[in-house]
Each structure stands twice: as C-alpha cells, then as structure tokens.
Copies of this chain bind each other. A is one copy, B any other.
Amino acid sequence: MRTPPGISASDFSAALQKCANVIGQSWVFSSDEDVDLYRDAYSPVRGLVDERVPSAALAPASVEEVQSLVRIANEYRIPLYPVSTGRNLTYGGTAPVYNGSVVLDLKRMNRILEINEAGAYCMVEPGVSYFDLYRYIHAHKLKLRIDPPDPGWGSPTGNSLEHGVGRGPYRDHFRAHCGLEVVLGNGDLLRTGMGALPGSGSLWQRFRYGYGPYIDGIFSSSNFGIVTKFGIHLLPEPELSRVFDISISRYEDLDDFVQEFAQLFDVGVLNSISQMGMPLLSMQIPEARALLESPGGGSSTQWNELRDRLGKPPWQITQLNCQGPAKIVEAQYDYIVDRLSRFSGFKVESRRDYGPSPDPDQVPGQDKCALGIPSLVIFGGVGMGRGHGHLDFSPAYPMTGEAVRKINQLLQQGYREADMPWRGWTGGNTWFDKTFTMITGFGLENDSEQNRKAVAAFRHLMQLLGANGFAEYRTHPLFQDLLLEQYSFNEHALRRFHETVKDAIDPQGILAAGRAGIWPKHLRDKREGRL
C-alpha cells in the first residue's frame, strides 16, 4: 500500500478504515491496481520520479460524507485531492499535484438537483457530466440547450471551475455559473450568494451576488474548497443556429481583420466561440515552411504569391456561430458578412443552418459542440491526433493582430530553440471576452527521453513568452508552480495573498496542496523555484 508522505502505514490504514466506515469499504480504493486508474494518462513524466501518484482514492456519495472524510483527513493530516468526473486530460487528469495525496473522487455525487425550463437554469452535483445533463434534458423534452466543451465527458462543475469553455453564448463556463455550495478544508459547509439565505429558493441559481463580498471566484482554479453543488445558467433552445466559416485573401490585412472580428463581439453581434486560423502559414506546407523560416518570415507580396499558387487563404475563421430567434440570427449574419465584405477576397466558405433540437445523428462532428450536443468526436482525430497523449501550452493574449504576430514569432523562435516541431501560425480561439487563447504544445509518446525533451521545451516556451508578457491561464500540475511564479507583480503579492487566505481557511492544508501553485504553510518548501 502506498502512503501519503509523512503518514505511517498504520495511521493511514486506520484513517482509511474510518473512511470506509463512512462511505463503505467498496468506495475506498487503495490497491495499486485501483489507484493506478487515478494516474494521469497523459503525464509527460509517467513512470518517472517526477510523476505525481495518488496513494489512495475515496468516492463519497453525499455532502455529509464529503464533510466526514475531510474531518478524518484533518485528524490524520492526510492531503486530499478533489476531482469531479476527473477528466481534464493534458491538465493533469485525476492525478494530484502533491505526490501521494488521496484523491477525493466525486463521481458518485451525480444528481441533477434542479432543472428549471422556464427560468433556464439548473443546479447539479459535481459528478454530473455534460452527457448526463444532455440526456436528462432530451429525455424530458425540455426546450433548453447546454454548452458542452469539446470533449463532453467532463462535468459542468469541474470544467467551469478550471476555466473550461464551450461554443455558445455561455462559452465562458465559469462566468455562466450561479451559486455554489462548498465544503471547506475544515469540513465546514458554505453556500454562496443567495444560497446563504434560508428560504430564498431558486434565487440561488438566478442572482449571483447575494449580499457582501462575492466569493465564488476564489473557488475557481484553486484549492480553497470542494464544490458540492453548482448552479448554471442555460440557453433556451434557439430557433436557428447558423454555423459558418469565412476567409480573406490578403496577408497584409491581419491587423484590420482581427480588429473587425473583435468589434463584432464588442457590439454584441458575436458572443460565441470560433477559431481564427492561418491555413497558408503552416509548417506542413514545404513552401510555406521555407518562407516562414526565411529572414523576416516572408513579405506580404511573397505570401500573396504563395496563396495564388496554393489556393489557400492566409487568414480564416471557422466555426463562427449565431444562435437565437431566426430573424435576429439572419440580421446578425447579414451584418457580419456586410461588415467583413470590405476585405479583399472575403468569402463565406461554408454555412450550416440548424433548427431547434437537431437530431445528433444528423449533425456533423465538428458542429456538435456548438449545437450543445456533447460528444467525444475531438478524440477521433479532429486536431488531437498527436501520439499517446499531448502536453498543451495554453496562453491568453489580446485579440489584436499585433499580439497574434508577436506570439507566433515568439513561438516560432521557442520551438526552434527547443528543437521541437512547430505547426505554423495560429490565430486564436474566442473563448473569453476581448481575448484570444490558443492551444499549442507537444505530442507525447511511450518514450521517456522524447517526453523529457517535451517538458524542457514547455519550460522554454513558458520562459520565453513570459519574458514578453505572455503567459498561460491554466497548465499541467508539473508547471503550476512555475506559472504562478510568473504572476509576480510586487514581489509575488498575489501569491502571498493566496497563501494567506489558504492558511486561514484551510489551516491544516488538507485540500489539493500545490494546486495552482498554492501550497499550505507546512509544505511551502515543496514549491518549485524559477524556471
């Protein structure tokens, strides 16, 4: 039996026995065979000394059981690592940040506690997946649309808390939440917003602020509590959803094009997720590769000539989507087309219209997510087919042409310096207001030498981009200390603040030690230093 660091085998056995008394022996996992399932399937250090492996896992079925387990953990000072459905591949899966932590697996807490069609909201437990929610809504013929992320197997709770995203108007999942119930590190139970007002009923899932400090945000991307109830705003099933792809033809229009694209959001015409891509500027095309690697990276004239030869546009935006009443969607679409048609070579490459509740079997894989249909199609090769796993580098940057150029130039440099294969220019995803994000990174193999190189390259990208004001907003546990290290204003005032709060609300440091770079007082020496 593995044990958490500093805990004797006999104490650990005693603690697990107490846990078994609460949740039943069959929901305490301590055999290597069982615990291995909680290892990070995409870990770049799998099997190496740096891999973080849980010592056991516990699967409670209720809030009361969670509280009891947290109290037992406090008694024995056992580090717990809560997960909801435990997906989050490439960002660590179910594996803890602090090696030897006990995974608190909330998958059995999978009740949809309320779903209100007229009010368009729901409240779920953390083990409810997007598939569960979708199936419930369709089984009950509710006129509601959910907003799943690309792989639909995760939970609204975990996805939202880790700043996951979908493709509809509620794309920024944390921002679409309303109301939390949280078990704190000492086992105490808290409800935020109107949940603290006895008898307020559905207002908990409607009005987010309640009275006084609005604390919900501190439970996102953190280790400050275990969320056991989670409210979400939903979209009434739209009359029309139009998904479309566009492109323009002149290389030199990048800045103007991104500016127009951003304005479409700012004036309220777009509010969903799309990707800006650069099909011509791909390292997979030998001539493009040569031009990208030439001094200066190619002039407008050279790129436009290449475009003419290859018939590929320099800039495109795919998966634009407008959802709502048909006539308004049409007006939005017309406005977008009208506004962008000033760009040379502008064209709508493809356009797909869908009515309310489209039959999932009739919707092509690429559009399922935008239409609120959870799927795993993204694992079938659409952009993910990289070896045995992947290590994603996820920076956020301003939605401007200047930032797109700058970050791509830095990435080109960084990949070259790290001797890793770069795929060429990436525009950005419109996951958050006024911001582009991208996912780049490295495939992983069953080859520890190759993976070691990927980890070193990842650190190199972090360092190079960080020195230029670009950083990730989420990352694999292996890099969480280093990422928070980059957010260093005023001698790490933000980290010092997080540590002060952590020590106050979880004084024994039980919950998810090290997550998001936040270590409890007695483990602060575990923190990794500079890059």
Name A residues whose Cβ lies closer than 8 Å to a Cβ of B: 118-121, 163, 169, 174, 178, 184, 188-192, 194-203, 206-222, 224, 233, 235-236, 238, 259, 262-263, 266-269, 271, 323-325, 327-328, 330-332, 334-335, 396-400, 432-435, 466-475, 483-484, 486-490, 493-494, 496-498, 500-501, 503-505, 516-518
Contact = CB atoms under 8 A, between A and B. Distances in A.
| The 9 residue pairs across chains A and B that have the minimum distance between CB atoms | A199-B469, A214-B217, A504-B504, A213-B222, A331-B331, A196-B487, A206-B434, A212-B516, A207-B435
Given A119-B434, A188-B496, A212-B516, 13 more contacts: A120-B266, A189-B493, A203-B435, A210-B487, A211-B475, A211-B517, A212-B487, A213-B224, A213-B498, A213-B518, A215-B218, A233-B434, A500-B505
13 contacts: A178-B433, A188-B497, A197-B487, A197-B488, A197-B489, A198-B469, A199-B468, A201-B469, A207-B396, A213-B516, A325-B335, A331-B331, A501-B501
Contacts of A119: 262, 398-400, 434
Contact of A266 (B198, B207, B235): B235
A323 B269 CA distance: 11
- Please tell me how many copies of the chain the complex holds: 2
A328 B269 contact: yes
Given A189-B493, A191-B494, A208 B433 contact: yes
A211 B474 contact: yes
Contact of A332 (B271, B328, B475): B328
Contacts of A487: 196-197, 210-212
Main secondary structure of the interface of A (DSSP, over half): mixed
Contacts of A212: 221-222, 484, 487, 494, 498, 516-518
Contacts of A263: 120, 236
Contacts of A236: 263, 266-267
A165 to B, nearest CB: 11
Contacts of A323: 268
A58 to B, nearest CB: 23
A434 B498 contact: no
B434 A211 contact: no
A178, A194, A496, A517 pick with most chain B CB within 10 angstroms: A194
A188, A212, A220, A400 pick with most chain B CB within 10 angstroms: A212
B398 A494 contact: no
B505 A192 contact: no
A192 B217 CA distance: 12
Contact of A215 (B325, B399, B497): B497
A506 to B, nearest CB: 10
A517 B470 CA distance: 40
A237 to B, nearest CB: 9
Given A222-B212, A267-B236, A490-B190, A471 B327 contact: no
Nearest to A144: B266
Contacts of A471: 197, 200, 211
A259 to B, nearest CB: 6
Nearest to A223: B213
Contacts of A192: 494
Contacts of A218: 213-215, 217-218
Contacts of A221: 209, 211-214
Contacts of A504: 500-501, 503-505
Nearest to A328: B331
B269 A198 contact: no
Contacts of A222: 212-213
Contacts of A214: 174, 217-218, 220-221
A324 B201 contact: no
Nearest to A518: B212
Contact of A516 (B211, B266, B474): B211
A201, A433, A434, A498 pick with most chain B CB within 10 angstroms: A434
